[in-house]
Structures are given as C-alpha cells and as structure tokens.
C-alpha cells in the first residue's frame, strides 16, 4: 500500500457516466451492453465466492462494488445474498441507484466518493469488485493499491475490463461506438485498455494474485453473454489477497 495515494478518478470520466444516469436502467439504452453481460459477470463472481458451492448463496458476505454507477451489478449481487456497498463519484447515478434499489426492495448501502475515502475510514470487505472501471481510472497502480487495501486478507478482488488488442479496437471501439452505435461515442479510450499480462503484474505489485481469468463474449440474441477462454476483447479476472 502506498503511503500517499493519488486520486484514482478523473472529473471527465465521472461526468461522462453521470450524464447517462437517467438512462442507466433502460435495457435498450446506452447501457444495453452492461445489461446483457451482467448475468454472466455476477454469476461468475458468485461461483468464485460461493460458500458451500452454491452461487445463489453468498451467506451475507460483505461486497464492495467500486464504480457502481446506477447499480446494475450491485443489485445482481445483492439478489444472490451478498451484503453490498456501492461506491461511485457520480452523484446523479447514485441517486438513480438508490431509487431503483428501494423500488426493488433491496438494501444496498450506496456511498458517494472514491476508494481512498473508504480506506481513510477504515472500511474492509470480504470481496471487492470493479467492473468495467479500471480502463477509465487515472492511475491503475493507485487504483489497484486501493482495492487491495479495501479487501480483508484472504479476500478476493474481481475486475472486468477490455484487452488492448487489434480485435478490441475493431469490435469494442469502432464497432460498438461508431458502426453499431451500441455505446455513446467516446465511451472508451482504446489506449487505456489493459492486457491481462499488464493487469497481472500490476496486481502482484499491489499484493494481489490472479486465481482465475475468463473471456466474455456475446452469444446470439437469445443466448446472452458466455464465458470463454478467449480473452482478446472482454475479460474478467479474480484476484486473491494473501
């Protein structure tokens, strides 16, 4: 853990996603890709956290969702039994998250701020997840240090992100933002995508070790997203704090 931690978020990235708050829960809106992949992400994480081998029984494990936005993944994990805290620096998105959770009858502790704010308060969790977040942060090393500081020894950190490859540039940047219009233009900066090798090395320096990795790819219209060995575009990784 670094003695002095720099801010892990940039105002431009916060404003970008805060502006989408009202449309976040529209499954056909600008967050449609996240809606589509959310069952896979939550199910994959639950299987690696599950007590007794049942991914639908997380036994009240404390889980922090960093960069939670309007709460797609937070709600998914809460429905599986986790005790979820959602953290984001975008106030409009959090307002939507709180309203939607209340309407869904879910108890989720949503907080405005950044990881370093929780560290200062002494918060620690059984698991931490940051899904489609690390490719937007200002300082990956500081961000990983923060996630490691927020998880208890023996706990797990889960990240999903985009690989920096020619295929990801073609499909996740040009295809998704400009050709198919699945995402608003400017959602991603391909240069900020991170390879699994880079992520693994940076995680080790933060005291985390990779224990599982899987690619994520969209299936047919009725199939949803599925796990795959191919990590060339989207992937999800489990890290353990020893």
Query: What does the pLDDT read at residue 167?
Result: 85
Query: What does the pLDDT read at residue 1?
Result: 31
Query: What does the pLDDT read at residue 188?
Result: 61
Query: What does the pLDDT read at residue 12?
Result: 67
For 91, 134, 160, the CA distances from 39, given in Å and listed in that order, are 25, 20, 13
Higher pLDDT, 19 or 173: 19
Query: What does the pLDDT read at residue 184?
Result: 60
The answer to whether 69 is a known ligand-binding residue is no
Do 155 and 164 contact (CB within 8 A), yes or no? no
Q: Would the pTM count as exceeding 0.95?
A: no
The answer to whether 41 is a known ligand-binding residue is yes
pLDDT digits (tens, 9 = 90+) for 68-78: 999 999 999 99
- Phi, psi (degrees; rounded to nearest 5) at 77: -75, -35
Q: Is the pLDDT of residue 101 over 90?
A: yes
**Is 2 a domain residue?**
no
Q: Is the pLDDT of residue 215 over 70?
A: yes
Place of tokens 């959310």: 38
The answer to whether 67 is a known ligand-binding residue is yes
**Is 222 a domain residue?**
yes
Of the pLDDT bands very low, low, confident and very high (cuts 50, 70, 90), residue 33 is: confident
Chain centroid, CA 223 distance in Å: 22
Q: How far is Cα 221 from Cα 228, in angstroms, rounded to an integer?
A: 17
- Residue 167 sits in a domain whose CATH number is 3.40.50.150
Of the pLDDT bands very low, low, confident and very high (cuts 50, 70, 90), residue 178 is: very low
Q: How far is Cα 85 from Cα 134, in angstroms, rounded to an integer?
A: 18
**Is 6 a domain residue?**
no
**Is 1 a domain residue?**
no
Query: Residue 235's beta-bridge partner residues?
Result: 161, 215
**Is 139 a domain residue?**
yes
* Domain that residue 32 falls in: 11-241
Query: What does the pLDDT read at residue 199?
Result: 97
**Is 4 a domain residue?**
no
**Total domains present in the chain:** 1
Higher pLDDT, 30 or 186: 30
Q: How far is Cα 122 from Cα 181, in angstroms, rounded to an integer?
A: 42
Q: Is the pLDDT of residue 224 over 90?
A: no
The answer to whether 121 is a known ligand-binding residue is no
Q: What angle, rounded to 10 degrees, do the helices at 196-205 and 140-150 form?
A: 60
Q: How far is Cα 163 from Cα 199, in angstroms, rounded to an integer?
A: 10
Do 96 and 24 contact (CB within 8 A), yes or no? yes
Do 86 and 71 contact (CB within 8 A), yes or no? yes
**Is 234 a domain residue?**
yes
**Is 58 a domain residue?**
yes
Pick the most confident of 61-65, 134-138, 169-173: 61-65
- For the chain, give the number of residues: 242
């Amino acid at each position: 853990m670094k003695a002095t931690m720099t801010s892990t978020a940039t105002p431009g990235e916060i404003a970008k996603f805060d502006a989408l708050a009202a449309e976040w829960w529209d499954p056909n809106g600008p967050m449609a890709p996240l809606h589509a992949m959310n069952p896979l992400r939550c199910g994959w994480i639950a299987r690696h956290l599950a007590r007794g081998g049942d991914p639908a029984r997380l036994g009240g494990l404390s889980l922090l969702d960093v960069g939670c936005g309007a709460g797609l993944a937070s709600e998914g994990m809460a429905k599986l039994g986790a005790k979820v805290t959602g953290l984001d620096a975008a106030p409009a998105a959090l307002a939507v998250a709180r309203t939607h959770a209340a309407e869904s009858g879910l108890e989720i502790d949503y907080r405005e701020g950044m990881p370093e704010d929780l560290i200062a308060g002494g918060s620690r969790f059984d698991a931490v997840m940051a899904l489609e977040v690390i490719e937007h942060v200002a300082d990956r090393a500081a961000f990983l240090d923060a996630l490691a500081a927020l998880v208890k020894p023996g706990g797990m950190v889960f990240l999903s992100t985009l690989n920096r490859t020619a295929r990801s540039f073609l499909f996740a940047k040009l295809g998704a933002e400009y050709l198919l219009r699945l995402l608003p233009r400017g959602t991603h900066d391909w240069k900020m995508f991170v390879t699994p090798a880079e992520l693994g090395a940076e995680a080790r320096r933060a005291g985390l070790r990779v224990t599982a990795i899987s690619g994520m790819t969209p299936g047919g219209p009725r199939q949803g997203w599925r796990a795959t060995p191919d990590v060339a575009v989207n992937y999800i990784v489990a890290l353990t704090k020893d």
